[in-house]
Structures are given as structure tokens and as C-alpha cells.
Chain A
Amino acid sequence: MEAYFDNAATTVVFPEVREFVLRLMCEDYGNPSSLHMKGVNAGSYIKKAKEIISKELKCEPKEIIFTSGGTESNNMALIGAALANRRTGNKIITTAVEHASVSSCTRFLADMGFEIVVIGTDAHGVVNKEELLQAVDEDTILVSVMYVNNEIGSVMPIEEIGKGIKEKNSSTLFHVDAIQAFGKMHIYPKRLNIDMMSVSGHKLHGPKGVGMLFVKNGTKLKPIIYGGGQQNGMRSGTENVPGIAGFGKAVEIVYKNLDRNIEWMRKLKARLSKGLLEIENVYDNSGDAPHISSFSFIGVRSEVLLHALEERGVYVSAGSACSSNKQSVSNVLTAVKMPKEQLESTLRFSFSEYNTEEQVDYTIDVIKEILPVLRRYVRKK
């Protein structure tokens, strides 16, 4: 049996999306900037995708900028907002559990002279809201908080943070990395006081190489990619028309059945947890997101268990990758102050609507079978 439980890494593309993308590549391959019919046709697909997405976000189509994916969206939001607002203030607030595409940007901005304040989390990976809001002041130009943590699935109190920020400083921009959240919950950025929000296409059965940044009307943002002035000059470069159209199509499909899918993934998540917790010395680190589970299997290194599962057709992610050369420990697991032996033995299981109860049961059985064997071969002290 094959069980793909790495949907937070990437997802299989919906068949409808595949066909749609292929058709655009074969037939409607025009450049939206061309003046002839082929160009106009291509442009209409972008317009359609914007309509679909803006409807789900309850925002205006012009508040959507398409990018090459989540990483670019985060870069555009952080670097673009910092550069555009540097005369207003110098302080940027973020959390200790952000994805590298945010934390690397804040490190870059620190080198450029911005003051970066990093807020820690509680033991469940949820950012300390009071501490964060305490840090917001006159000088704060931007706050960036992820919606759902990619490693353990903790959900941040975005609504309260958004409200709190605006109460303290109405001109502070609020950016949310919603890459693991979009398509897994209903998100209406304007009701949440979000000014910018990053989304990726391939996490919700769309193609890779496409994503978007929601930018609320009137937000001061400088582009980070310059060229032919496409997308109102905010993101130059010929639009990835098939990718964007496929992304739109995927969003349409995902949101059609969203409530049912959330329920289904929660059911699988609970089933997995129940099964695995029957085993001795297994801990459930999962946050509240419907599709992400994190477990520690004390006494076996995550990479070894990952490969053993792979041999049996079960695909998961390691919480922290390590090798004999280099111990690269996850900053998220460190931030939640996980003990070392738990940290080194953590695996992430992430679900999609395609997963089945049989796959979950099979995975539980496999782990019950191989864990005792692997636990015998630990490094002796």
C-alpha cells in the first residue's frame, strides 16, 4: 500500500487542473501583454483566477498579485514593505517559528539596519500574543506572523493579533504567511486586519511555481522584481498564465468542498493520533491545524524511521534532519523547547482529502511493527 502523508510539503495536482494547464500550454499560450487576440485570451485566464481567489478571500481582484510561489510572496511582503516604509519606522516584529522564507528575509533586513524583534512561542508552538503586542510601538512598520506552523500545525491567534496591532499603531502593517493555512480553513484577510497575505499554489493541489500575495488596497509596498511593469508594476515578468489559471482552478475545487474536507482530515488526524499513542513513548506534538500531525518516537532517530516507512510505501517528513556531519535541528522544535531526545525523533504526517482511513490504519500497523526493531539499534552510550 502507498500512503502519502507529506501534503504539507506538496500535494498531487488535481486531474482537472492538470488538464486545464495542459490545454492552456497547447492552445491558449499567448502573452497577456500582446495586443492581439491570443494575448487578450491569455489575460482573461488571469482575470478569472483573480476572481475565483478574491471571492474566497472576500477581497477585490486587484488586491491579488501573482508570484512564483510562497517564498517569493513572503520576500515581496517583507522586503517590499520594509523598503517602502523605512521613513516611517525601523522596527519589524516576527516569531521564532517562521518558515525560512520569512526568517531569512528578516535576517537580511537586520543586516540592512532594521531592528528585528523575534517573539517566542508557548510549548504548543503558539506565539506569545501578549508579548508580541507589547512590542508593537510607534516605530513598528511591520509585523509578520505565520497562520499555521508548517512543522507542528500550531494555529496562531491571527484575529486577536491583527486587532491588537491596529489598536496600538494603525499604520503598522500586518503580514500573514498563510501558506499552510489557505485551503485548510476559511480566511477573510480584511476581517482579520491583514494587510498582506502569502499563499502557495502547490500546497492545495495546484501546480508548482505559482503563488500569490494579497495586498490590501492602499498598502505601501515596493516591488522587488523590476522589468516590463506587469501586474501594475508590482511584479514584472511575463505572467505564468497556465500556472495562474491552474492555481485558480485548484482554489475553486478546494473551496467547493472545504468544510467536508476539513472534517475528513481532522478525522484522519485523530485516528492516527489514537493509534500511535497506544505505543509506549510516543508523543503527539500536533497543533490545531486540521491537516498537520507531529509525533515523537522516543529512541529512534527520525530519519531512520522515515526511511523504514518509505520502504513500506509510507511517505512522511522528518521534523529535524540530521547527519553524522552536521546536526541541523529544526528551529521550530527548538522554539517549543522540546527535549533533545524528543526533538531528534520527530516525524510530521500531513494529510489531504485523498488520504484514507485504510492508509492511516496501515501506517499505524507498520509503525507498531518496525518501531520495536529500530529501537533496539540505538547508539549505545
Chain B
Amino acid sequence: MHYKAFMIKYAEIGTKGKNRYIFEDILCKNINRKLKSLGAFHIRKEQGRIFVEALSAYDYEDVVTALTKVFGIVGICPIVIEEDTAFETIRDRVIEYVDNAYDRKNFTFKVDTRRNDKTYPMTSMEVNAELGHYLLEAYDKLAVDVHEPQEIIHVEIRKVVYIYSITIPGPGGLPVGTNGKAMALLSGGIDSPVAAYMIAKRGVEIEAVYFHAPPFTSERAKQKVVDLACLVADYAGAIRLHVVNFADIQMAIYDNCPHEELTIIMKRYMVKIAEELAKKNDCQCTVTGESIGQVSSQTVYSLSVINEVSTMPVFRPCIGMDKQEIVDISEKIGTYETSIQPYEDCCTTFVAKHPVTKPILSAIEKSERKLEGMIEPMFEKAVETAETIMCRYK
């Protein structure tokens, strides 16, 4: 370990005008929370950037990996901070820095100096030229290219000196907690965790709901959803998962409604329950993993009939994506392996062989009227007895 600090770059937050400090404070808080278990760190804001300084020993790889999962960060620069601003010291540090940062010293470079302290005895140009000279002297395979350098060695002379050149890309997005709260419907499949991840990326806090139907779905299927929520929590922060027992409602629909309409009616009740839980938990929207045309209940006709019951915005970030594109994201965020475990809902019992693909709202509503009187108490019970599980990344 040769870096004692990281400089965190963030982009979009800078455009948020007067609210900027709120965004920055939340980002600092999120970074702090993420690094808490990895060592002691001091996190401070300074002129549009955040500095993370290690106060204890830490594992470099672990910290970088953790930071690449904090939304709002666009770049992570391992940085050397030197308190002595004398040129000779800067020179030694820069030579040492290049030695540590690059395995092979055979690239083109330029030195880019910023001088905050205008009383400094040398101009920026002079510092650039001098440092370039000493670096060429120290490493004979280096070459200067001021127009298109492969590497730019940044040297900032303030009260202290900052030396950095490498930027590790961050996840982008906005800090979670700056944009309200969403109730995500998690199924245990590939799409819904990706959808939750994408909404979290825009700064939205995530709660989640899973519909459990014992004995038709197994304890393992539920555990799989808990595992998925824990994985998404690596990015989104801790997720409160509400597990709703949906068996009674499913059976009532099965007993009273046309079989080919089952999935549509079931989904309408899922959305209603999700909204009820969303309201109870101060969420402003719901999130689903739907993608147009993927299955019969995701045709535009089906989506519009299901959507009819919602009063909140329903965000469907996967809506225009192909399956492979969704799979690619799930592999990137690490949920794929869990999603494809074969415990997917044993609800096949409730799936018709030929479900409707062009449901008609009036017909669905007519079928639902057969449930009147019996479904209301079931609905209330489902909401009231929902089990809450706190899902944190392990």
C-alpha cells in the first residue's frame, strides 16, 4: 500500500446549483458508510472534490472496489499528499510516485501543474518543465508529449501538494438518498434486480417487495430474493424487503377468474399491494423489471391493463432493453449467478398454458368483480402481515 489518500471526482452533482452542498454531503455520508468496515478514513470536501484520507492501514483493492460501487462517483484517483511544498521535495515525491504507480515506465507524458499559491517561487510552466526534466532523467524509457500524452501527471500546489495521474472510473449516477424512495418489485429473476439497481443509480433509495406463495413457492425461492436484495444493496445501500404472503389471493383468483387471465389479474393485485406498501413507507414510486414483449404479461396491451391500477409512477428501466442487455448488466453487478438458480417461483401451478396477450380492460375488470367481498380482507391481511427483512451486502 503506497497511497494514503484518494481524490473522488463527481460530475453531475456540480450542476445542481444551490442544492449542491446537499448532494455533496450525502455523497460523503455514503462513502463513509461504504468504507466503515475497511479501516479508519477521514472524508472531506474541498473545492468541488472529495478527499478520502486513510487514518489506518487498509487494503487498497478492497477500498477501490468499494468506491466503485458508490453512485455519484465518476472517478477515483489514488493520490499522494505532501505537506512540504519545497520544489526539491515535490520532485522526489513525483519520481517516487511514478515508480510506484507504473509497472512499466515506457509511456509518453506531460506534467500539468496548478498553482493555487501565487506566492510560490516558481510559475506553473517552470514547475512543469523542471519536473519533466527530472522524470526523463530518472526513467530513460519515458518521453514527453505535450499534445497527446498517454499519461498526465497532475501536480497541484496548494497549502499542501497533491500528486496524481491515474483515474479509476466510478459507477456514475447520483448519490443514493438525493432523490426520494422507490418500492421495487423483486421476483427472483434476472430483470427486477437490474431495474432496482438502475433506479438506485439515479440517487433513489430502494425498498423492495417480494410475493411469496407457500407452499407453491419454496423457502429457497424466498431466500434467493433476500440474497438478490443483499447484492443490490452493495450499490443501493441497505434495502428493506417486504415479503408478502400472496397464496390466499392467488388461490382466490384461481378459483374465481378465467384461467388465461390469471397472470394479468395477479399482477394487478401485486401492483396494488406494492403501492400500498410504498405509501406506508414513504416511497414516491414503484419499480418493475418489465421489458416490452418479454412474456405474455409484458405485451404493451398487458402492461397498459396492469398499469391501470397504479396511482404512482411505475418506473420500468428495462422496458426498452433486450434480454441480453439486461443479462449483461446483471453480470456486471453480480446478480446473474443468483438470479439463474433454479428455484424460480414454483407458481407454474398458476400459469395458464395459453395466457391472454391482448387483455381487454373491461373484461379483466368484469372478472375481478367476482372477487368482490372476499378479496378485500385478503388484501388487507397480505399488507398487514408482510414480513420485513433488512438486506445488507455481506
Residues of A within 8 A of B (CB): 301, 303-308, 310-311, 323-326, 328, 374, 376-381
Cα–Cα, bound, A328→B251 (Å): 26
Interface segment out of the listed B166-174, B278-286, B347-355: B347-355
Cross-chain contact A324 with B215 (CB below 8 angstroms):
no
Cross-chain contact B342 with A307 (CB below 8 angstroms):
no
Instruction: Find chain A residues with CB under 8 A from B34 CB.
Output: none
Given A303-B346, A323-B344, A325-B342, decide whether A380 and B215 contact each other with a Cβ distance below 8 A: no
Q: Mark B328-368, 1 if CB is under 8 A from A, else 0.
A: 00000000000010111111111111000000000000000
Instruction: Find chain A residues with CB under 8 A from B344 CB.
Output: 323-325
A-B contact pairs, 7 of them (CB 8 A): A304-B215, A304-B349, A307-B215, A324-B347, A376-B255, A377-B350, A381-B353
Given A377-B349, A377-B350, A379-B351, decide whether A323 and B215 contact each other with a Cβ distance below 8 A: no
Cross-chain contact A301 with B218 (CB below 8 angstroms):
no
Cα–Cα, bound, A287→B344 (Å): 32
- Given contacts A306-B215, A307-B214, A379-B352, list 5 more A-B pairs with CB under 8 A: A307-B215, A324-B346, A325-B342, A376-B255, A379-B351
Instruction: Find chain A residues with CB under 8 A from B217 CB.
Output: 307
Cross-chain contact A380 with B353 (CB below 8 angstroms):
yes
* CB of B219 closer than 8 Å to a CB of A: yes
The 6 closest A-B pairs by CB, nearest first: A307-B215, A308-B215, A324-B348, A323-B342, A380-B259, A326-B342
Neighbour of A323 across the interface among B219, B251, B346, CB < 8 A: B346
Instruction: Find chain A residues with CB under 8 A from B71 CB.
Output: none
- B side interface size, CB within 8 A: 23
Cross-chain contact B215 with A378 (CB below 8 angstroms):
no
* CB of B269 closer than 8 Å to a CB of A: no
Instruction: Find chain A residues with CB under 8 A from B218 CB.
Output: 303, 307
Cross-chain contact A301 with B346 (CB below 8 angstroms):
yes
* B210-252 interface with A by 8 A CB criterion: 214-219, 251
Instruction: Find chain A residues with CB under 8 A from B340 CB.
Output: 325
* CB of B41 closer than 8 Å to a CB of A: no
Interface class of chain B by DSSP = loop
Residues of B within 8 A of A (CB): 214-219, 251, 254-255, 259, 340, 342-353
B215, B254, B342, B353 interface centre (most CB from chain A within 10 Å): B215
Residue in A closest to B258 when the chains form the complex, CB atoms: A380
In the complex, the number of residue pairs spanning A and B with C-beta atoms less than 8 Å apart equals 58
Give chain A nearest CB distance to B211 CB in angstroms: 15
Instruction: Find chain A residues with CB under 8 A from B350 CB.
Output: 377, 379
Give chain A nearest CB distance to B385 CB in angstroms: 15
Residue in A closest to B251 when the chains form the complex, CB atoms: A377
Instruction: Find chain A residues with CB under 8 A from B219 CB.
Output: 307, 310
Cα–Cα, bound, A381→B351 (Å): 10
Instruction: Find chain A residues with CB under 8 A from B255 CB.
Output: 376
Given A310-B215, A311-B215, A377-B254, decide whether A323 and B343 contact each other with a Cβ distance below 8 A: yes
Residue in A closest to B352 when the chains form the complex, CB atoms: A380
Instruction: Find chain A residues with CB under 8 A from B214 CB.
Output: 307-308, 311
Instruction: Find chain A residues with CB under 8 A from B215 CB.
Output: 304-308, 310-311, 374
Cross-chain contact A304 with B353 (CB below 8 angstroms):
no
Cα–Cα, bound, A149→B215 (Å): 28
Cα–Cα, bound, A162→B235 (Å): 61
Cα–Cα, bound, A319→B255 (Å): 28
Cα–Cα, bound, A381→B354 (Å): 9
Cα–Cα, bound, A220→B217 (Å): 50
Give chain B nearest CB distance to A381 CB in angstroms: 6
Residue in B closest to A300 when the chains form the complex, CB atoms: B349
Cα–Cα, bound, A324→B213 (Å): 15
Cross-chain contact B349 with A379 (CB below 8 angstroms):
yes
Instruction: Find chain B residues with CB under 8 A from A325 CB.
Output: 340, 342, 344
Instruction: Find chain B residues with CB under 8 A from A374 CB.
Output: 215
Neighbour of B348 across the interface among A310, A379, A381, CB < 8 A: A379
Instruction: Find chain A residues with CB under 8 A from B346 CB.
Output: 301, 303-304, 307, 323-324
Cα–Cα, bound, A301→B345 (Å): 13
Cα–Cα, bound, A20→B309 (Å): 63
Cross-chain contact B353 with A378 (CB below 8 angstroms):
no
Cα–Cα, bound, A301→B349 (Å): 9
Residue in A closest to B254 when the chains form the complex, CB atoms: A377
Give chain B nearest CB distance to A145 CB in angstroms: 31
Cα–Cα, bound, A374→B349 (Å): 10
Give chain A nearest CB distance to B387 CB in angstroms: 15
Given A323-B342, A325-B342, decide whether A377 and B216 contact each other with a Cβ distance below 8 A: yes
Instruction: Find chain A residues with CB under 8 A from B347 CB.
Output: 324
Cα–Cα, bound, A82→B353 (Å): 49
Cα–Cα, bound, A135→B259 (Å): 53
Give chain B nearest CB distance to A102 CB in angstroms: 24
Cα–Cα, bound, A167→B100 (Å): 75
Residue in A closest to B250 when the chains form the complex, CB atoms: A377
Give chain A nearest CB distance to B340 CB in angstroms: 8
Instruction: Find chain A residues with CB under 8 A from B351 CB.
Output: 324, 379
Cα–Cα, bound, A301→B347 (Å): 11
